């Protein structure tokens, strides 16, 4: 699966940036909630924040794959 993601052109740096963006987006969603539906905005902010670990793990796997390709293992 990681090989296929790598072939599409997604790099480990892209995955790490997406992870950081997920955290920032989560904070923005939580801060700009409307008072009439605050509970939904808080849950959505938490949901978006939960993407960060998954994206970071993809970044680590892609980075490992990039090293293997560089060393021709």
Domain containing residue 40: 9-71
pTM of the model: 0.83
In a domain, 4, yes or no: no
SS3 (DSSP) at 73: coil
Number of domains the chain is built from: 1
With cut-offs at 50, 70 and 90, classify the pLDDT of residue 73: low
Residues 3-17 pLDDT 10s: 899 899 999 999 999
1 domain-assigned: no
First-to-last C-alpha distance (Å) of the chain:
17
3 inside domain: no
């Amino acid at each position: 699966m990681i090989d296929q993601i790598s072939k599409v052109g997604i790099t480990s740096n892209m995955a790490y940036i997406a992870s950081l963006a997920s955290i920032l987006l989560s904070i923005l969603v939580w801060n700009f909630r409307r008072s009439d539906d605050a509970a939904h905005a808080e849950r959505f902010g938490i949901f978006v924040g939960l993407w960060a670990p998954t994206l970071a793990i993809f970044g680590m796997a892609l980075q490992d794959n990039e090293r293997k390709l560089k060393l021709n293992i």
